[in-house]
Amino acid sequence: MTIKRSHITGCGAYLPERCVTNSELAAALDTTDEWIQSRTGIRQRHIAADGELTSDLATNAARKALDAAGLTADDIDLVVVATATPDLTFPATATQVQANLGVTRGCAFDVQAVCTGFVYALTIADNFVQLGQSRGALVIGAETFSRILDWNDRGTCVLFGDGAGAVVLQPGEGAGTVEDRGILSTHLHADGRYKDMLYVDGGPSTTQLAGFLRMEGKEVFKHAVVNLAQAVDEALEANGVDGAAVDWLVPHQANRRIIDATARKLGVTSDKVVVTIDRHANTSAASIPLALSEAVGDGRITRGQLVLLEAMGGGFTWGSAMVRW
Ligand code: ACO
């Protein structure tokens, strides 16, 4: 029997031109490069230019993913943008991206699961493809977190950056074993009891202003380590493999110490973990597709390898995706 799976057939990434080092932040804020690097692993971040919108970042990444897949806008019938920093309250940023690309059929919508947004969006698009409702899907994570940071709050503003990453999903047939190509499993979770640990203190229905990110860093850290350990275990179990079978861990890039703890739990060595946090900081929903694009682009991730994606974010939300590349 053959079954239908989504194949990731192209990846693309885009980072704004302006790069801000820790030392530049330390010139205006009571912090140091040493504190930021030792607590988080971050050395620098990219910041969008005035007037450069989430949809602009998303469109640039999507164009590269389409090129990599050898497709054009005419082949796309689904655009999903994972973002917590949309251009406008409505319409969805995905419709702006659709218009920028010249996609005129199918559907387009945003997904809001903060740092887990890309895993949520990938899961939804994967279901569309498996059900035959999409033959070419663009899944994009794009953020301009610089616009929702309190630049006077050293506990949060040093942690985040702007950027976008995109993948193209297309249907493929196979025997459906763990060795066959495609997205093998996805698992999503949310627990709204923890919504006050990481949130933005504004929005259309409350203050009518966009607001600023607020976070209880230590609590988020503790929950992230526990939830991500659960997410990777779940993915391994669902696919009947152990950590040794995983060729690449591509984690959400929130904090180097969280990434290292998850890798240890999984039993993978650091040379099998794709790390971009040092150069990108935490780009929320964009971090996984940015990291994927880098590792596919430089030849680390190759056909046939087992790739595990995981993320955790505000809500709390968390989840994983296992992919046979
Ligand atoms: N520079 C210098 N000192 C700072 C800074 C800074 N940028 N930020 C905080 N401090 C100070 C604090 O004021 C505090 O000082 P005090 O002891 O005099 O009160 C001291 O450093 C320790 O602060 P803590 O918050 O306890 O520092 P901690 O070691 O927990 O590190 C951090 C903070 C990096 C935020 C950590 O808790 C963390 O990474 N948490 C996870 C948060 C995260 O990843 N969020 C991303 C979104 S969710 C996600 O993507 C999973």
Per the residue annotation, which of 7, 60, 115, 239 is the catalytic one?
115
In degrees rounded to 5, what are phi and psi of residue 82? -90, 120
182-324, what's its fold?
Answer: Peroxisomal Thiolase; Chain A, domain 1 (3.40.47)
Phi-psi region of 113 (alpha: psi -120 to 50; beta: other; left: phi over 0): alpha
Ligand 1 atom closest to residue 314's alpha carbon, by position in its atom list: 48
Residue 174 scores a pLDDT above 90: no
- Identity of the residue numbered 35: W
- Binned at pLDDT 50, 70 and 90, residue 10 comes out as very high
- Binned at pLDDT 50, 70 and 90, residue 238 comes out as very high
- Is residue 87 within a helix (H) or strand (E), and if so which, with residue range? none
Distance CA 128, CA 126 (A): 5
Compute the distance from residue 299 Cα to the ligand 1 centre, in Å: 34
pLDDT in tens, 74-120: 999 999 999 999 999 999 999 999 999 999 999 999 999 999 999 99
Report the pLDDT value the prediction gives residue 247, as an integer from 0 to 100.
98
Range(s) within the chain of domains with CATH label 3.40.47.10:
3-174, 182-324
3-174, what's its fold?
Answer: Peroxisomal Thiolase; Chain A, domain 1 (3.40.47)
Compute the distance from residue 218 Cα to the ligand 1 centre, in Å: 7
Q: pTM for the whole thing? A: 0.97
Residue 2 scores a pLDDT above 90: no
282 included as an active-site residue: yes
pLDDT in tens, 40-70: 999 999 999 999 999 999 999 999 999 999 9
Distance CA 316, CA 150 (A): 21
Q: How far is CA 279 from CA 181, 196, 290, 302, in A?
A: 31, 29, 11, 23
Whether residue 246 contacts residue 306, with contact meaning beta carbons closer than 8 Å, is answered with: yes
